[in-house]
Amino acid sequence: MTKPLIGISTYSRSPEDRFFLPGKYVDTILRAGGEPVLLVPAGNDFDRLFSILDGYILPGGGDVDPALHGGGDHPKVYGVSRERDRFEMEIARRVLDSGLPTLCICRGFQLLNVALGGTLHLHLPDVFGRQVIHRLPDKMETPHSVEVEPSSALAGIYQKTSFVCSSSHHQGIKDLAEGLKAVAFAPDGVIEAVEVKGHPWLHAVQWHPEHTSAEDPVQQRIFGALIAAASPED
């Protein structure tokens, strides 16, 4: 069987003049049987990209520019890249239009909501307090539980409706965009996963399944499902 080509956006150019992506995104795709294709957020030939790719991952990273969702300003906002926002907003629009199998993770989850007209909380502790810790200091990940709607497609993929995830975010969905359905929640009520109504395979999760998928087969399942959905018919 031909391995499906899975596009993954890299982070924007660093001050050291490097494009970067954590290796665990690549590892999960290789483990699931796909071929990762890293795409720097600087190109414009989207028609060609979408003629080649079989699936896509919109990964984590810095915050989406608050100007894109009327969020104002906050001292905790970090890592904003208008170049990456522009690139990934176009990717989001095209996966929505084309039906390309797509997994959105953390920042990608938030960007999808913004692309469809939703808004974000700029700093969750200001709104939800610290009942649930969604990120440790220095942007380090931390575990917390997630409850998934039993009737959702996500529950079918995970084969569970309750599990522990690896979390590393300080923002979250405020106003859910039209066309999205919330299907998983943290104990404090923060939306942790959404599905796109009418899309054949587009899942967005606020947590980081790639962080623990090498040791936790439950978290690897969503990558296996992406590869299955993206696999071309020979």
In this predicted model, what pLDDT tens digit does every residue of 89-122 receive, in sequence order?
Answer: 999 999 999 999 999 999 999 999 999 999 999 9
Evaluate if residue 153 carries a pLDDT over 80: yes
Instruction: Please give the pLDDT value at position 211.
Output: 97
Instruction: Please give the pLDDT value at position 218.
Output: 98
For residue 200, give the amino acid letter: P
127: its two tokens: 């709104």
Domains of the chain, residue spans: 5-230
Q: From 106, 85, 1, select the one nearest 42 (Cα to Cα).
A: 85
User: Who's near 152: CB < 8 A, 6+ residues apart?
Assistant: 181, 183, 184, 193, 195
The per-residue pLDDT for range 158-201, each reduced to its tens digit, is 999 999 999 999 999 999 999 999 999 999 999 999 999 999 99
Instruction: Please give the pLDDT value at position 121.
Output: 97
Which residues partner with 55 through β-bridges?
Answer: 6
Task: Count CB neighbours of 78 within 10 A.
Answer: 10
Residue 48: C-alpha distances to residues 17, 52, 115 (Å): 26, 7, 22
Residue pair 200/97 in contact by the 8 Å Cβ criterion:
no
User: Strands 142-148 and 180-185, how do they pair?
Assistant: antiparallel
- Return the active site residues: 106, 208, 210
173 burial class (0-12, 13-18, 19+ CB within 10 angstroms)? Answer: buried
Architecture of the domain defined by 5-230: 3-Layer(aba) Sandwich (3.40)
Evaluate if residue 4 carries a pLDDT over 60: yes
The per-residue pLDDT for range 29-38, each reduced to its tens digit, is 999 999 999 9
